[in-house]
A and B are shown apart, each in its own frame.
Chain A
Amino acid sequence: MGELIISEGYELRHHLDAGREGLTLYTAPGAAREIALYDEAGNYRPLKTAPTLRRGWRMGLGAIGDLQEALEGFYPAMLAARLAHQNGKLRVTPLRETLNRQSGMYAITKKMTDEQANATVCAFCNSTSGCLKTILWQIAPGIPITTLPPEKSAPHGDFPLLCAEGCNLLVARAREVVKQETP
């Protein structure tokens, strides 16, 4: 799931720490939120699905409930999104709809063009440096994202991280882009 590997006995660790010894052990599921708070360099991680989860720890959890709580700390709301998607109940919102309902300082994002939106999504949501989620939404109905590889829109694996709607961080970036590029 994301950068995590889930092993038998409800054990979690960073996938790049597979097989590594000497990791710091945590047994309380609440530690997940603390681990996910900062990246390796100590920078705050407002986007939990950014590919910047730090390494050097493992979690040994006692029960499935603790595992769920820890996964919620690492990737908030992602278990619920997966379940809703499996049941055909995940509501997906096109970016245009998200931008059109903004108000206050974000109201300016209504002016974003499809071209600007595509470029912004590519720069901000790409899996290499932006976000690991699979994007289920389009720019607008019938206007797909064309700047990211097709696999970015195709859920894969047992525990896909699913994006049903552009997040507030993307909206904030959209605001910056529109402010900079609108004459």
Chain B
Amino acid sequence: MIAAKPHSALLLLGHGSTVNPDSSGPTFTHADEIKRRGVFAEVACAFWKEEPSFRQALTMVESPEVYIVPNFISEGYFTQKIIPRELELAGPVTRREGRTLKYCEPVGSHAQMTELLLHRAREVAPGVDPRVASLVIVGHGTSLNENSGLAVKEQVARIAQRGVYAEVLGMFMEEEPFVTDWRKLTSAANVIVVPFFVSDGLHSYQDIPVLLGIEAEPGVAASRAEVFRHNPHLTGGRSLYYSSAIGTDPFFADVILDQVARFDSQPIFTAA
């Protein structure tokens, strides 16, 4: 458990969306839970596509020490380029105007992600024997940063190593292998797809179902749907199970706090 930090602020950064109302929800929910635990003097959220913006983020907290945790899956374009640029961070530690800004690793690089992905897979297809099922982990992927797909690839390797599922594959929206090709790429009759995303937002709830072919067009936002989603989807003789994004799991509040504790445990970053 993390020790109380009465002189520190926690800043949680999310992507947010200009079109989907559910994108920022989990980030706010995790922030509310961390506030409730009273670990930090202040807790605030900021977003790339919503308000408060990344540019406004540091105006919202006053503490002399600010831990910045990206609620992002990948150590990629956003965590390596956009966030440092928008918050004017010099590296893991930035000292500016009497404050120390501590830039932590994104939630997606936490060791517990493997368990959370497996938990989602079991939860969405409870009666399916994993030994005869294909497990697909879906990420965004982008040509803008070669590391963007790395988080998915690492999780695929870890899960495959356990030998629980007949096969484990990583697929992407915007880089190869494309999620649209899942029928060709998987071989089992039961295919379980878990979106490695922080929210049931535009990509995981509306875009990927279209790419998978289980929806003809992007439907309404998850919070506006009467039923989250019916499983399985029977298509071409296969049963496809599509789960909600892992970032909605309440355990993410602990993951965020762990990323702060992990930052503190690395002496190279905290030396004055």
Chain A interface residues (CB < 8 Å from chain B): 30, 33, 37-38, 44, 46-49, 76-77, 80-81, 84, 90, 93, 101, 103-104, 164-165, 167-169, 172
Please state if B20 and A44 are interface contacts (CB–CB under 8 Å): yes
State the main secondary structure of chain B at its contact with A.
loop
Please state if A46 and B17 are interface contacts (CB–CB under 8 Å): yes
Known: A37-B21, A104-B77, A104-B144. A77 touches B59 (CB 8 A): yes
CB-CB under 8 A from A37, the residues of chain B are 21
Q: What are 15 residue pairs bridging A and B, where the CB atoms are less than 8 Å apart in the complex?
A: A38-B21, A44-B19, A44-B221, A47-B51, A77-B46, A77-B52, A80-B60, A81-B56, A84-B59, A93-B55, A103-B81, A103-B82, A103-B85, A104-B77, A169-B18
CB-CB under 8 A from A33, the residues of chain B are 28
Please state if A165 and B19 are interface contacts (CB–CB under 8 Å): no
Complex alpha-carbon distance, A77 and B85, angstroms: 19
Residues of B95-130 contacting chain A, CB below 8 A? none
Chain B interface residues (CB < 8 Å from chain A): 17-21, 28, 32, 46, 48-53, 55-56, 59-60, 77, 81-82, 85, 144, 221
Complex alpha-carbon distance, A93 and B56, angstroms: 12
Q: How far is the CB of A50 from chain B (nearest CB, A)?
A: 11
CB-CB nearest in chain A for B144: A104
Please state if A76 and B17 are interface contacts (CB–CB under 8 Å): no
Complex alpha-carbon distance, A18 and B20, angstroms: 31
Q: How far is the CB of B48 from chain A (nearest CB, A)?
A: 6
Please state if B49 and A168 are interface contacts (CB–CB under 8 Å): yes
Which of A44, A76, A93, A104 is the one whose CB lies under 8 Å from B51? A76
Among B17, B19, B32, B53, residue most surrounded by chain A Cβ atoms (within 10 Å): B53
Please state if B77 and A76 are interface contacts (CB–CB under 8 Å): no
Complex alpha-carbon distance, A44 and B77, angstroms: 27
CB-CB nearest in chain B for A73: B28
Please state if B51 and A167 are interface contacts (CB–CB under 8 Å): yes
Please state if A165 and B55 are interface contacts (CB–CB under 8 Å): yes
CB-CB under 8 A from B20, the residues of chain A are 44
Among B19, B51, B52, residue most surrounded by chain A Cβ atoms (within 10 Å): B51
CB-CB under 8 A from A49, the residues of chain B are 51
Which of B28, B32, B53, B77 is the one whose CB lies under 8 Å from A168? B53
Please state if B77 and A77 are interface contacts (CB–CB under 8 Å): no
CB-CB under 8 A from A76, the residues of chain B are 51-52, 56
Complex alpha-carbon distance, A33 and B53, angstroms: 15
Please state if B59 and A167 are interface contacts (CB–CB under 8 Å): no
Please state if A46 and B144 are interface contacts (CB–CB under 8 Å): no
CB-CB under 8 A from B18, the residues of chain A are 46, 168-169, 172
CB-CB under 8 A from A84, the residues of chain B are 59
Q: How far is the CB of A158 from chain B (nearest CB, A)?
A: 19
CB-CB under 8 A from A80, the residues of chain B are 56, 59-60
Complex alpha-carbon distance, A90 and B58, angstroms: 12
Please state if A46 and B49 are interface contacts (CB–CB under 8 Å): yes
Complex alpha-carbon distance, A128 and B221, angstroms: 28
Q: How far is the CB of A14 from chain B (nearest CB, A)?
A: 19
CB-CB under 8 A from A101, the residues of chain B are 85
Please state if A77 and B60 are interface contacts (CB–CB under 8 Å): yes
Q: How far is the CB of B54 from chain A (nearest CB, A)?
A: 9
10 more CB-based (< 8 A) A-B contacts, given A81-B59, A84-B59 = A30-B32, A38-B21, A49-B51, A77-B51, A77-B60, A103-B82, A103-B144, A104-B77, A168-B48, A172-B18
CB-CB nearest in chain A for B82: A103
Complex alpha-carbon distance, A80 and B85, angstroms: 21
